[in-house]
């Protein structure tokens, strides 16, 4: 039978072929009045069916959810069910959980804005109804803001990451069966060029930043911490009894904790900060928080749009490369991939190969 350009044929073994796609579980059929029906064999051997799915995507998604429930019931010995909840209802609960995990007010504000944009495009759908087709459509429509202005690739990818985080949690809570934003092709971004800053240029740059942010900026240049890692840094995470000092990053972008050794200057910065609360940088919990202070600092130094806080991390990586540290070592220091660390190797010294040979000779003589 053919209707609307989609064919449906049921085989003798209970499988079905819709749109030239054969399934190993259940079957889908387009009914004469324009809706889809799914049929499957339950665990007790009884034949079940549901009717009323308006699109083929929803029918396939529902059939996949049923198969997933049956598989989980076999593995765990219990019945797994999907609890339907709408995106606009689940998003506020997700934000509340982020607060309990130590996310700063500024990060929560950014997450809220990104999820609001994604929710506006998803509409009133339930989480388990959002499939990869919807995810791709949302990604393509995120290229403009609510006011019609174009968005950068960085902004689109950040909003997709926020939505992906929400769906990962929804799957754990039993509200969704798959993450529609997982492994979607990211929006194209323009790679920034990272210039090596000498220590004199560093001092000149720090002199243009507000006094309240100056210790944090210099500390980022000396350790390569991401903005979120720095804002979540607690006094208990720093150990100055060692030589050199050391800090532990518990929550990282790559989900892996790492240790960061402190340079002599980073140690001086930490020792010069007064301990006034749980966090090392106390402006985290102020009403006029980080974003306000950084915007004021950019305006005062006339560097708005030309310098991001994340560039301090690039300064650290470029300095490491200039000092002759290898890409794998830089990757471990930054908590990132070797592929990302290779971007900084243009700043390696001209005699990098000679230094490598010297290290090999020292190893041979020591052995």
Distance CA 172, CA 93 (A): 14
Does pLDDT of 136 surpass 50?
yes
**What is 87-173's CATH number?**
1.10.150
pLDDT tens, position by position, 7-16: 333 333 334 4
- What is the residue-averaged pLDDT of the chain? 78
Contact indicator for 175, 83 with CB cutoff of 8 Å: yes
Does pLDDT of 350 surpass 60?
yes
| Domain range list for the chain | 2-76, 87-173, 199-363
Report residue 284 CA to chain centroid gap: 21
Residue predicted with more confidence, 258 or 254: 258
Contact indicator for 239, 246 with CB cutoff of 8 Å: yes
pLDDT tens, position by position, 90-127: 999 999 988 887 777 778 888 999 999 999 999 888 89
pLDDT tens, position by position, 268-327: 999 888 888 888 887 655 445 677 777 777 777 665 556 778 888 888 888 888 888 888
Q: Which two tokens stand for residue 366?
A: 């020591």
Phi, psi dihedral angles at 197 (to 5 degrees): -105, 120
Helix (H, G, I), strand (E, B) or coil at 288: coil
- Total H helices, total E strands in the chain: 14, 9
For position 74, what pLDDT does the model report?
64
Contact indicator for 73, 43 with CB cutoff of 8 Å: yes
Q: Which two tokens stand for residue 178?
A: 């798959």
Helix (H, G, I), strand (E, B) or coil at 85: coil
| HEC-encoded secondary structure of 24-70 | CCCEEEECCCCCEEEEEECCCCCEEEEEEECCHHHHHHHHHHHHHHH
Contact indicator for 219, 313 with CB cutoff of 8 Å: no
For position 195, what pLDDT does the model report?
61
Distance CA 75, CA 78 (A): 8
Go through 32-63 and write b for each residue having 16 or more CB atoms within 10 A of its CB, e for each that does not: eeeebbbbbeeeeeeeeeeeebeebebbbbbb
Per CATH, domain 199-363 is 3.40.30.10: no
Does pLDDT of 162 surpass 60?
yes
For position 61, what pLDDT does the model report?
84
For position 10, what pLDDT does the model report?
39
Q: Would the pTM count as exceeding 0.85?
A: no
C-alpha triplet 95, 96, 97: angle, nearest 5°: 90
For position 196, what pLDDT does the model report?
64
Task: Tell me whether residue 258 is exposed, middle or buried, using C-beta atoms within 10 angstroms of its C-beta: 0 to 12, 13 to 18, 19 or more.
Answer: middle
Q: Which two tokens stand for residue 117?
A: 């944009």
Residue predicted with more confidence, 332 or 23: 332
- The helix (run of H) or strand (run of E) holding residue 82 is none
């Amino acid at each position: 039978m053919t209707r609307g350009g989609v064919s449906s044929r049921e085989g003798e073994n209970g499988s079905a072929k819709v749109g030239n796609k054969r399934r190993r579980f259940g079957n889908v059929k387009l009914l004469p009045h324009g809706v889809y029906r799914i049929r499957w064999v339950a665990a007790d051997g009884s034949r079940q069916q549901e009717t009323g799915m308006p699109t083929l995507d929803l029918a396939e998604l529902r059939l996949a959810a049923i198969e997933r429930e049956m598989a989980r019931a076999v593995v765990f010995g219990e019945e797994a069910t999907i609890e339907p909840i709408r995106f606009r209802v689940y998003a506020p609960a997700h934000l509340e959980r982020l607060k309990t995990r130590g996310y700063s007010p500024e990060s929560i504000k950014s997450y809220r804005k990104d999820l609001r944009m994604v929710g506006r495009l998803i509409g009133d759908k339930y989480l388990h109804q959002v499939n990869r087709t919807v995810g791709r459509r949302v990604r393509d429509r995120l290229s403009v803001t609510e006011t019609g202005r174009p968005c950068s690739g960085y902004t689109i990818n950040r909003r997709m990451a926020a939505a992906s985080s929400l769906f990962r949690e929804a799957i754990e809570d039993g509200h969704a069966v798959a993450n529609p934003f997982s492994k979607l092709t990211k929006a194209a971004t323009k790679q920034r060029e990272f210039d090596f800053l000498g220590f004199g240029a560093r001092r000149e740059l720090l002199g243009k930043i507000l006094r309240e942010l100056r210790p944090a900026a210099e500390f980022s240049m000396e350790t390569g911490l991401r903005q979120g890692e720095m804002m979540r840094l607690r006094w208990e995470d720093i150990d100055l009894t060692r030589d050199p000092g050391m800090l532990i990053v518990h929550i990282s972008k790559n989900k892996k904790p790492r240790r960061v050794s402190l340079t002599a200057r980073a140690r001086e910065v930490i020792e010069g900060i007064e301990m006034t609360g749980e966090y090392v940088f106390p402006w985290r919990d102020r009403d006029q928080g980080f974003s306000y202070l950084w915007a004021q600092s950019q305006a005062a130094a006339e560097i708005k749009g030309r310098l991001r806080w994340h560039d301090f991390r690039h300064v650290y990586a470029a300095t490491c490369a200039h000092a002759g540290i290898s890409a794998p070592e830089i990757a471990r220091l930054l908590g990132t991939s070797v592929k990302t660390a290779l971007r900084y190797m243009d700043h390696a010294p001209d005699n990098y190969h000679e230094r490598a040979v010297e290290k090999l000779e020292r190893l041979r003589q020591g052995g």
